[in-house]
Amino acid sequence: MFCFCIPKSVCEEIERVCSNFWWGVDEGKKMLHWKSWEALCQPKCKGGLGFRHLEIFNKALLAKQIWRIIKNPGSLAARVLKARYFRHQDIMKASLGNNPSYLWRSLLWSRPLLENGICWHVGDGAKIAMKGESWIPNCRGGVIPIGT
């Protein structure tokens, strides 16, 4: 789940097996569900059991890999991916390219999750391009939306 996008059908099948284990199946008859799967997926502090939606969890783990590439550009994985897929640009602006691996497709599938929450911390401002960078939260391209 850290490296590849697990197909939605596989995630649903695993969740189905987990729910069948939790609620039980008696000779092909489904047992009574005391709580919905959504309720069981809530955190324990909110009354759930902390189960995870596997598709969402998979996307989060893949976004974490992109974050590691951003924070550790000297790592072997970052250098290999940079040489192959985003040689002259940032990973957040890289395109799918020609003949991409399943790993690269998986990382790009999760990138919008990271794009929604990532922004610059200004600091000394030496590395910030005023136009085109997301350095104001909830603002793309440096233009502040009207009404905020």
At 97 the three-state DSSP class reads coil
pLDDT in tens, 83-134: 999 999 889 889 998 899 999 999 999 999 888 877 766 677 676 666 666 6
pTM score, whole prediction: 0.72
Distance CA 89, CA 73 (A): 12
6 contacts 104 by C-beta, under 8 angstroms: no
pLDDT in tens, 2-15: 788 899 999 999 98
pLDDT for res 97: 86
Distance CA 120, CA 40 (A): 36
Domain segments of the chain: what residues?
Answer: 1-117, 119-148
Please tell me the total number of residues recorded for the chain in this structure.
148
Which run of H or E residues covers position 37?
A: helix 37-40
Distance CA 115, CA 95 (A): 14
